[in-house]
Structure 1
Amino acid sequence: ARLWSFKTEDGIEATPVVVGNSVIVGSTDGHLYSVDAQTGALRWKYKTGDKIMGGAAVARAPNGRDIYVVVGSYDNQVHCVNAATGKPVWTYATENYINGTPGVNAGRVIFGGCDRILHVVNLANGKRLRTIEIGDYIAGSAAVIGSRAYLGHYGNQVICVDVGAGRIVWRYRDRQFPYFSSPAVTADRVVIGGRDKQVHAMERATGKPVWTFRTRGKVDSSPVICAGKVVVGSEDGRVYMLDLATGRQLWSYNAGSPVMGSPAVHAGGVYIGSDDGTFYAFR
């Protein structure tokens, strides 16, 4: 049953994030909204200069008290706001659009955008720590684990970047198709969807290929890994569950409409939406 709905001034393509008793989500109307998770009442809204396409990242502030929300916008900036009040903490300017969700690790904010650069920014004050030239548009989000960031880009590659050293550790290239998906990373695997209609798995340490699984449509959906299984959607209208070790299909469900969004897994359930507006739950 529907609990509540909240109307923004334009569409919502970003992924919501829950912070305490609030749901925080960006809109293509250029605002970041915080609404009460129980009632849907507006708590605050924060204005950026253009549409917000990516989800927000949440991190505890360096002072140990506040919670920060960090989000990219098509105004070419990353915005950090206080999760409780919606008041700005800092903004960081780049040279082009920012699509993905920033990664936050060890007091650093790590993100790429259409300026072809991976940025490393101080969470406390928004000051630049490092920039790493990638050379192609970064449409998705980087998965950040320790000092390494894993991401796909428009130049038909998946890469691993040593953020501390500022260098690319390895590159994976299969065919001449870009990656809009964001990777899922385990202790020894990186799994990502490609616009070549395939799901790709590679060794986390080396980037060497492990397996590919072919769908019938481009895979902009970002995989989720749980209990040795990979769940991902495809433009072909199906949700797939694959074996992480082998890439073998365990099951699929035909949603009948492109599944470009990314699944959520919680308490044994899989939740995902399709382009016709239908939201599915599987067990």
Structure 2
Amino acid sequence: MTTLKQIVLGSAAVLSLAFSVTSCKKSYSVDGPETSPYVSSVYAVNSNRSVLALDPATGAKRWETKVGSDVYATPVVISRKLYVVDITGKIYRIDPKNGKIEASSSLGGAVYGTPLSYDRKLIIPVGNTVKMIDPTGNFTTVWSYTATDQVRTSPALNVSKTDTNKKVVFFAAGTKVYALQADNGAQMWQTSVSGAGNFASSVSAANRNYLYVGNDNGSLYALNSNDGSTYWSYPTGSAIKSSPISVGGNIIVGSDDRNLYSVDSATGLLRWKYTASDRIASSPFVYNQNVYFGSNDYNLYAINIIDGTLKWKFLTFSVISSSPFAYNNTLYFNSFDKNVYALNSEDGSQKWSYNTNATMNASMILDTISGSVVPSISGNYPY
């Protein structure tokens, strides 16, 4: 965009010259380079230590930036800055317009779960702690809470069951589920679920009353968000690595037994299940009455949320364990075949693909001018 610079000069003769110049319709640039407009981008990270920004409409690469190590956590955008945390626990603040790393800092432990954005700060699982980090300046730690085991899941956020003004952070680690006050990290409760093994599934903080989380023992649990007590459990046939989502009374989750389940949120009774050809570690995403998820059988599936029937599936060249998301009738996801894909969300036809030249362990996000669209594996998923 051309900017008209007004030149104030001190004599009539020079003013006359200025008029003759501008009447020739020439323009002059500002003293510094113009600021690039903020545009929508899909952000992906791969095992080649790359952070990539792709055009969501075409898949064209806008920029690529190297970080120190592989990334398992989904990137996060706050106040038009991109934040990426690698597996060693180093956090990077990146300018989303050009990919320049503005600052970085070590958080002191391994990071697998996706940071949660709250009050313009980041709540991050680091080793066996959960920390609130102020992402501005030098990444100051606001508070830190130490769990019994390493935290490999993503934290989730909702209001307190008894006080809507109080925000609560929920997360799972080892065999326990925790609730912390979001403002100061104080523990509200922790619980060891009877009969449960380790939790690799992230907690879905669906509403003020219920939490939902899958377990390595194959059970999907509904917990009381006020004290962690168990409302009900539903047994699947194998470990649950997928993170559940809650949509319209349905709790939807994948299992290593090859099934995607829809369970009634209040009673824990099965509504429907769909069987894929291999394990389902991918966390589902709902858009326009369709449930989208990936499988180790190389397929991305679209399932009718009402009855669990197949609408379409799309075959890639490797397993899909990351989580998809949809926006503006386009479905975005990545596969272990090193490709990022964009499909028509209604019929599964391919719009574009982009090869990142390395495998991708983390899910992606789409950042738009009006906000971010995130997958359900992250702690920011709206359901």
Residue number among 194, 213, 219 corresponding to 2:320 in the alignment: 219
1:270, CA displacement in angstroms?
8.4
Unaligned runs of 5+ in 1: 273-283
Which amino acid counterpart does residue 258 of structure 1 have in structure 2? T
Which amino acid counterpart does residue 106 of structure 2 have in structure 1? K
Other-structure match for 2:136: 38
Answer yes or no: is 1:23 the counterpart of 2:119. Answer: no
Which region of structure 1 is more displaced relative to structure 2, 258-267 or 205-214? 258-267
Residue number among 140, 152, 166 corresponding to 2:254 in the alignment: 152
Other-structure match for 2:348: 247
Matched-pair contact (CA < 8 Å) for 1:120–1:129: yes
Other-structure match for 1:178: 279
| Cα distance change of structure 1 residues 138 and 44 upon mapping to structure 2, 3 Å threshold | same
Other-structure match for 1:70: 170
| Structure-1 separation of matches of 2:299 and 2:372 | 21
1:38, CA displacement in angstroms?
1.4
TM-score by length of 2: 0.67
Other-structure match for 2:210: 108
Which region of structure 1 is more displaced relative to structure 2, 4-13 or 142-151? 4-13
1:127, CA displacement in angstroms?
2.0
| Structure-2 separation of matches of 1:43 and 1:251 | 42
Per-residue deviation, residues 102-141 of structure 1 (Å, max 9, x unmatched): 1122321111111211111111222222222223211010
- What SS does the aligned partner of 1:105 have? coil
1:53, CA displacement in angstroms?
1.3
1:271, CA displacement in angstroms?
9.2
| Structure-1 separation of matches of 2:373 and 2:168 | 26
| Cα distance change of structure 1 residues 4 and 69 upon mapping to structure 2, 3 Å threshold | farther
| Structure-1 separation of matches of 2:117 and 2:289 | 29
1:174, CA displacement in angstroms?
2.8
Other-structure match for 1:275: none
Other-structure match for 1:61: 160
| Structure-2 separation of matches of 1:271 and 1:171 | 27
**Identity of counterpart residues, as a percentage?**
21
| Structure-2 separation of matches of 1:51 and 1:41 | 22
The 5-angstrom pairing of residues 222-241 of structure 1 reads 222-241=323-342
Per-residue deviation, residues 203-251 of structure 1 (Å, max 9, x unmatched): 1111111111111111011000111111001111111001111111101
Per-residue deviation, residues 139-174 of structure 1 (Å, max 9, x unmatched): 010111132111110001111111212211111113
| Structure-2 separation of matches of 1:20 and 1:169 | 37
Greater share of residues in strand: 1
1:49, CA displacement in angstroms?
1.3
Residue number among 135, 140, 161 corresponding to 2:237 in the alignment: 135
- What SS does the aligned partner of 2:217 have? coil
TM-score by length of 1: 0.90
- What SS does the aligned partner of 2:262 have? strand
| Structure-1 separation of matches of 2:229 and 2:328 | 38
- What SS does the aligned partner of 2:105 have? coil
| Structure-1 separation of matches of 2:312 and 2:349 | 9
- What SS does the aligned partner of 1:5 have? strand
Q: How many residues align?
A: 269
Unaligned runs of 5+ in 2: 1-99, 375-383
| Cα distance change of structure 1 residues 271 and 145 upon mapping to structure 2, 3 Å threshold | closer
- What SS does the aligned partner of 2:104 have? coil
| Cα distance change of structure 1 residues 230 and 121 upon mapping to structure 2, 3 Å threshold | same
Compare relative contact order (CA 8 Å, sep 6+) and give the higher one, 1 or 2: 2
Matched-pair contact (CA < 8 Å) for 1:187–1:204: no
Answer yes or no: is 1:93 the counterpart of 2:195. Answer: no
